[in-house]
Amino acid sequence: MSRQWASRLRRSLASLTTYDVPRASARARMHANENPEPWPEAVMRELAEVVFNVELGRYPDTSGRELREVLAARHGCELGRVVLGNGSDEVISLLLTALAGDPTPVLVVPTPSFVMYGHAARVLDYEVRDVELDEALQLDESAMNRALAGATICFLARPNNPTGSLWDRAVIDRLIATHPSVVFVIDEAYIAYAPGQSLWRVDAPDNVAYMGTLSKVGLAALRVGYAIAHPELAAALDKVRHPYNVSQTSVAIARAVLTRFADVQQAMVDRTIANRERLAGLFARLPGAHVFPSAANLVLVRMPDPARARALVEHLAAHDILVKDVGHLPRLSSCVRASVGTSAELDHVEHVLAHWT
């Protein structure tokens, strides 16, 4: 077959790979930065009743107004500034699409950070300027300033994945003030695990957009992310957003959790924060291990060498514990990232690590 249509594919796709993580089953799934705490059975039954009342034969609201109203009230902002996405991934694509007005738009992103920033930008033919973190896994302010000259957009994940870093607030404020023509997206997907550290402010400069998600606080299956932006940028996001992009089931469940079960959700987050410290302590006992400070629901540990890091990942996998080898990433040679598990999962991890030599 001639496949003449293939010449119509975007040239940028040729160098990219598919983001595809096979569904995994294990006794301890500690590789995907989810909140592992189970929802109480009583809450699940009430959420089942919420789903029971969803009219499956009807379209949802075009923009998820019911949930946007809750989020706007939480953040103390106007409804029109809140835009929903099918997870943070769609919100990232909406921002990049809406801002791709220059012949060659430019993304600046610290690295290592969330892979989808660069991936989505390259799909849209952005020039991507990666700026390595410094040795302490903090922002390199001088390098960031150089890269931001003439840039279009910059994503700043705070806390950061995969490092767990809580980047310096003052550095971020200076970057925003120095580059008023760049849209800075503050991605606080993990901010629930860093109480009191949010950079959200209703009167932020107009070149700042805020991004959040429910995926990291016990609702990953719903795929609900959101942006809060200046009204003009929010209107642009709505123009490129597909209508009905978040299902009514997801909207209804998310709204019920945020309005009726927020205390249960907070208790799940609090247990995860406590278990983060326990997991960090377990890794710190390993000979030659260095555990980095974390403000997210993950722990990053550097082993003495890459072989030892691989051996740790393989040993845990052999005992039905999944973690992630991130040693191929800039600044993270010999590093392993583990999501925080439940108390029962950490009991198993403690037992397994005690028998590793």
Asked whether the domain spanning 53-260 has the same topology as the one spanning 23-40+263-354, the reply is: no
- Cα 312 to Cα 24, 289, 290, 291: the distances in Å are 19, 11, 14, 14
**Predicted TM-score (pTM) of this structure:** 0.95
Q: What is the mean pLDDT of the chain?
A: 96
pLDDT in tens, 300-312: 999 999 999 999 9
pLDDT in tens, 32-89: 999 999 999 999 999 999 999 999 999 999 999 999 999 999 999 999 999 999 999 9
pLDDT in tens, 85-116: 999 999 999 999 999 999 999 999 999 999 99
Distance CA(235)–CA(6), nearest Å, equals 34
Please give the pLDDT value at position 1.
Answer: 58
Looking at residue 264, its amino acid is: V
Please report which confidence band the pLDDT of residue 5 belongs to, taking 50, 70 and 90 as the band edges. Answer: confident
Domain positions in the chain are 23-40+263-354, 53-260
Distance CA(237)–CA(241), nearest Å, equals 6
- For 26, residues 6+ apart whose C-beta sits below 8 A from its C-beta are 317, 320, 321, 322
CATH class of 53-260: alpha beta
Residue 230 has pLDDT above 90, yes or no: yes
CA angle 246, 251, 253 (to 5 degrees): 135
Distance CA(290)–CA(318), nearest Å, equals 23
The yes/no answer on whether domain 23-40+263-354 falls in CATH 3.30.1490.120 is no
